[in-house]
Amino acid sequence: MRTFRHMLLTLIVAGFLTVSTGQAAIAAVPENMQLLLYPGSSTFYVNGSKTEADIGLAERNGHYYLPAAKLQDWFGIPVKWNEGKGAVQLTTPAAFVEVLLPGQELLVNGASLNKDNRNKDNRSKDNIVLVQNDRLYLELKWLEQFISFRSNIDAKLQRVELRYIKPAEGTLFQNDTLPNVKPVAKFSVDKESYRIGEPIRYSNLSYDPKGTGLTEIDWTGNAEAIFTPGLYKVSLQVKDGVGNYSETFSRNVLVKDEPFLDEFEYKVYHEPVGTYVLEEEAVLRKYLRDIPQLPLEERKPTDRPLIVSDSPETFTEKGILYQELVNGKARLYADHVNGTGKKMKLAILVRNPSTDRSVTVKTTNHGEVYPSIYANLIGNEATIEFLQGGKAPQSMVLRPQETAYFKLYPGFYPDQGMNLIYDVETDGDAYFSFVAMEPDDEIADVSLYPHLPYKGNVRGTFTGSEVQWKVDASKVAKPSSFQLGDGTSDRFVTGYDFFEKRPALNLGNYGVVYNIHVEKPQAMSVLILPRGGVFKGPFKVNGKIVQTPPSGVMTDYTGYTIIARTNGTEPSLDIEFSPAAGSAFPIDIIFYPMNRK
C-alpha cells in the first residue's frame, strides 16, 4: 500500500495525470523527434539538445523501460488517473492501456495481460510493468507497438535511441472513448480446496471496459458442490451489450477426499425453503423412515364443533346432503362433486327455528373456491384462503322462522367440484343445510327434497375443529418426525351423523386446523414427506403460507418439500396446517438437524 500511495503521489505531483472526463489535450510535440536515453540517468537529449529531468530510462534484466510520467511530454500520449478504478490509463494511437494499482494488473483494450495470457511478442505482464523507486515504468519494446516510435539499443554506448514521428490528426483515441473491445470474463472462488459436498462459492468478477454492461453470463462446470474427489475445471464466458463475447476464463477447483455432506444431506441443508426435492424411494426410506418419533403434548379444544358434508361426495341427484343445528360457534366444511350430468346449484341454507326471536349469524373466517374439475386445486386454494385468515366478520340476521341462503353457488357444472370452509357464530339456534339444487328451484322447494344417503366418505358433526400440539425441539440431535393423518399417533376426531344418528369418524381430519408450536428449535430443516398417495396442501409457517409442493402435486415416496429452516437462535417455530380436500394421508413432518456442520 505504501508503494502504491507514493507512486500515485509522484505521478500527480509531476502533473502528468489528467483527471478531467472530457477530451485530453495533446501536448505540443515536434512532428519528428530523436530521443537519446541512458539507463539510470536523468539526462537525455531531444533532437541533440541536452535536457535534465527528475526521471529517466530504467533497465531490468536486459529490458528497458520508459517512465509513464514522461509519455505525454515526449509523445503527446494522454495519461490519466481513474480514481474509481484505481488505474493509470494511456490512450495511445493503437490501443487503450490501463495499469490497475496497486496490483499492477495490465489491461489492453480491456483484456487482462497476466502470466498465463501473453501478448503477441510473448511478453508477460511481469516483463512489461516495472515499479522502481515509487515510479511506474512500461517496457520499451512493448510500448513500441502502440506508439509511433522506433527504438535502437546500442549496448556498446549503453544508450537507447528513439525516433518518433507524430501520427496524423484524428488517429488518437479520445480519452474516455474506448474501442469496441471485448468484455472480460473473470471469477474467483472462496477457498483453495473443498471437502466432498462442501458449498463452493463463486464470485463473478467479469466486466465490460466500455461500460455497456453484460447481457449473457455462461458458466460451465460451476457446481454448487462436488461429491467425488478430484480436480474439476470451471469456465466462464460473458457477452456485452453490443454482441461481443469475451475470451473463456477457466480455473480448476480441487475437491479433497474428505467428507463434509453427501448428496442427500446437501439438498436438505441448502435447497431453498419451499423447494420440492425429488428423490428415489430407496433413498427416502434410508434417510427419513424408521427414525425417532417426537413426543407431542396435545390439546383438542371443543368450543367449536366441526360440521362436515362430504358424503355423498359425488351427488347424482338433487337433495339435502347434510344438516345440523348450531348454537354458538361451529365450523362448516363441504366437499362435493356434481355427478348429475347437468348444471346444478350448491347452496348452504340457514333457518331460524324460533317462533319469537331473531338470530344473528356471524361469519368470522372463510375459505372458498369457485367450482373446478381439479380436485387437488380446489382443496388447496380453499385451505390457503382459510389459513390466511384476516377477513372482516360478516353478519346476517334471520327473522323468526326465516330460511335464507347462507351461501349460493349457481354455476355448478357437471364433474366440477367445490370445497367450502366457514367459521360461524350464532346467538341462538340455527339449522344449516348443505343442498344440491336444481337450477330453477327456490328455497321453498327444498322442503320437498330427500335426505341423500351416506356413501362412505366423511359426514357428521365432530367434537372439535382444532388440534394443538406442543413440541420440544431443544434436544433433537438426529432426524426425527411425527405424523399427520395416520389415525394412531394422530387420532381422528369423532362425532355422530345427524341424519342417521350413528357414530362418525373424520378419516383424515378434514376441516381440522392443526396449531403446532415448536419450542427451542435447533438449527434444522423441516420437511414434509407424503406416505399415503397424492398430496397437495399449504402450511402456514410463522404467519407465511408455504405450498407443498409449490406447483403440481406430490406423491408418496417420490420427494419431500422443505417448509422451514431454523438457525438455532429462534425461541419457537409456529406451524398451522389443515388437510386439503383431495389429498391422501398420512404425511410425515420431519425435523432434520443441521448441527453437525
Q: Which CATH architecture has domain 187-260?
A: Sandwich (2.60)
What 3-state DSSP class applies to 590?
A: strand
pLDDT for the residue 96: 86
Q: Max alpha carbon distance in the chain (Å)?
A: 128
In the chain, domain spans: 2-165, 187-260, 270-299+465-593, 312-453
pLDDT in tens, the chain (597 residues): 444 444 454 444 343 343 333 333 344 555 678 889 999 888 998 888 888 888 889 999 889 999 998 898 888 888 888 887 788 888 887 788 888 876 678 888 877 776 444 454 455 667 898 888 778 899 999 998 888 788 899 888 889 998 887 765 544 444 444 556 788 999 999 999 999 999 999 999 998 877 678 999 999 999 999 999 999 999 999 998 888 999 999 999 999 999 999 999 999 999 999 999 999 999 999 999 999 999 999 999 999 999 999 999 999 999 999 999 999 999 999 999 999 999 999 999 999 999 999 999 999 999 999 899 998 889 999 999 999 998 999 999 999 999 999 999 999 999 999 999 999 999 999 999 999 999 999 999 999 999 999 998 999 999 999 999 999 999 999 999 999 999 999 999 999 999 999 999 999 999 999 999 999 999 999 999 999 999 999 999 999 999 999 999 999 999 999 999 999 999 999 999 999 999 999 999 999 999 765
Per-residue HEC secondary structure of 100-159 comes to ECCCCEEEECCEEECCCCCCCCCCCHHHHEEEECCEEEEEHHHHHCCCCEEEEEECCCCE
On whether the pTM is more than 0.75, the answer is no
pLDDT for the residue 123: 57
Contact criterion met (CB below 8 Å) for 85 and 103: no
Name residue, grid cell 430407496.
Answer: 282
Do strands 230-240 and 129-132 pair parallel, antiparallel, or not at all (unpaired)?
unpaired
Report residue 260: phi and psi, to 5°: -130, -65
Closest CA to 210 of 170, 171, 242: 242
pLDDT for the residue 105: 83
pLDDT for the residue 15: 39
Contact criterion met (CB below 8 Å) for 396 and 361: yes
Alpha carbon 344 to its chain centroid, in Å, reads: 44
Name residue, grid cell 322462522.
Answer: 401
Closest CA to 316 of 291, 337, 302: 337
Residues 278-287: tens digit of each pLDDT: 999 999 999 9
DSSP string, 217-256: EEEES--S---S-EEEEEEEEEEETTSPBPPPEEEEEEEE
Closest CA to 15 of 72, 74, 85: 72
**136 vs 26, 83, 192, 429, CA distance in Å?**
21, 16, 32, 95
pLDDT for the residue 502: 95
Burial of 501-533, coded b for 16+ CB within 10 Å and e otherwise, reads eeebebebbbbbbbbbebebbbbbbbbbbbbbe
The class level of CATH for 2-165 reads: alpha beta
C-alpha cell at 328: 354458538
How many helices (H) and strands (E) the chain has is answered by: 7, 44
C-alpha cell at 394: 360478516
Residue 212 and residue 238: Cα distance in Å, rounded? 12
- Asked: is 312-453 a CATH 2.60.120 domain? The reply is yes
